[in-house]
Amino acid sequence: MTERLPGFSTLSIHAGAQPDPTTGARATPIYQTTSFVFNDADHAASLFGLQSFGNIYTRIGNPTNAVLEERVAALEGGTAAVAVASGHAAQVVVFQTLLQPGDEFIAARRLYGGSINQFSHAFKSFGWNVVWADTDDVSTFEKALTPKTKAIFIESIANPGGTVTDIEAIAAIARKAGVPLIVDNTLASPYLIKPIDHGADIVVHSLTKFLGGHGNSIGGIIVDAGTFDWSRDGRYPALSEPRPEYHGIKLQETFGNFAFAIAARVLGLRDLGPALSPFNAFLILTGIETLGLRVQRHSDNAKAVAEWLSTHPAVAWVNYAGLPGDRYHNLARKYSPKGAGAVFTFGLKGGYDAGISLVSNVKLFSHLANVGDTRSLIIHPASTTHSQLNDAQKAQAGAGVDVVRLSVGLEDKEDLIADLDQALKA
């Protein structure tokens, strides 16, 4: 019999996990411990010297988190992954591994509002300079390249507009420039899009959203595709140069196609400290078991709600890549053929005030700043998530004053439509 490669649903349930060797527990236990006893002094020394893998201290790694890491790496098709405390922590750890003060990276202008803030302000204080580019005109990425560019950052399906990015076109620019492509795959999840298949070198997630999926835990993860040669031209010294704290080993030379994941763990997690709680890892693992079922239903519900909204007299426009005729429909068919996800925006003819009225009158939809919950969520980005941006930045980020964003949940679609209907009438 030839060995079958397990499918997505099988990996979602089994990858990384096995019955607990001591107790036989079938579900992955929560290893709620800070630290792990060494077998003997030699074992301790080899762990600290990176000569062998094992548990030391939960800031650097934990067995519950390790199952989550292996599972997401398997779902994304990467070589290894590192779980961290939040999606934003994942971004800090990735860039801290890649950048020196004074370096630049190029980021899509159309991003999660929190990422725009993080890149514009916090990262500037570290001396990391973001240069913005436009995913609707990929030549802007090429034009933004300078000798200081160390990475390119995009979202596969972009928040808040739910627009689909031409990952392969931007990956080609990154490859030619010799810099890694980092893809935030939060809104798509690996069920809809696997960025590594399209040329991504690093994938990041906010596990808080669809992977956890139940609106109960904050978490993030970094997946190493194993595709990038970090020692080619000395631009990534953390990976290519000898590490004084690890007996002078060079991470790329020693760890090959999972060197980035090792660096993110033994430099980023160790020194910056944003460890994921094993309890959150357990909840997120439980969420991932049903990832494919949930994301399919999220997408199907979103399409039904988008279709209904597009015929409503109070609605000026609906941007949902799953609708034929949408500007991003062809990209969605190429990159995300099973559905265009749960998050999209629409515009109200009544502008800012109509947006405020709608979010005030919904009953089943929750008015809050999150996406990827079982529950349906609604927000008016201009008065909340994107309120820090000026009007031009709001419009560029897809968050103009008339824009409402939905994250369509797993309820009955008829109930969701009825709720929006009564709120639009109110």
Return residues touching ligand PLP (CB under 6 A). Answer: 86-88, 112, 114-115, 155, 159, 184, 186-187, 206, 208-209, 218, 220, 371
- Comparing CB distances to ligand PLP, the nearer of 114 and 255 is 114
Place of tokens 């994921």: 276
**In terms of CB distance, is 187 or 263 closer to ligand PLP?**
187
In this complex, which beta carbon is closest to ligand PLP, that of residue 111 or of residue 267? 111
Q: Which is nearer to ligand PLP, 221 or 259 (CB)?
A: 221
* Residue 185 or 240 with smaller CB distance to ligand PLP: 185
Closest C-alpha among 317, 290, 305, 369 to residue 341? 305
Q: Smallest distance from the beta carbon of 33 to ligand PLP, in angstroms?
A: 24
Q: Which residue number, 235 or 394, has a Cβ lying nearer to ligand PLP?
A: 394
Residue at shortest CB range from ligand PLP: 87
Distance CA 236, CA 43 (A): 30
- The least distance separating ligand PLP from the CB of residue 283, rounded to whole angstroms, comes to 13
Nearest to 153 by CA among 102, 210, 220, 204: 204
Q: Which of 189, 165, 418, 153 is CA-nearest to residue 284?
A: 189
CA geometry: angle at 343 spanning 341 and 347, to 5°? 130
Residue keyed to tokens 């890149």? 119
Dihedral angle, C-alpha 248, 93, 121, 211, nearest 10 °: 170
DSSP state of 326: -
- Minimum distance, C-beta of residue 203 to ligand PLP, in the bound complex (Å): 12
- Amino acid identity of residue 179, one-letter, is V
Q: Is the peptide bond before 160 cis (omega within 30 degrees of 0)?
A: yes
CB of 207 to ligand PLP, least distance (A): 7
Q: How far is the CB of 112 from ligand PLP (least distance, A)?
A: 4
- How far apart are CB 80 and ligand PLP at their closest, in Å? 20
Closer to ligand PLP by Cβ: residue 87 or 400:
87
Distance of CA 380 to the CA centre of its chain: 22
Residue 120 contacts residue 389 (beta carbons within 8 Å)? no
SS3 of residue 154 by DSSP: strand
Cβ-based neighbours of 128, under 8 Å, separated by 6 or more: 95, 99, 101, 103, 104, 105
User: Taking the complex as a whole, how short is the minimal distance between the CB of residue 59 and ligand PLP, in angstroms?
Assistant: 18
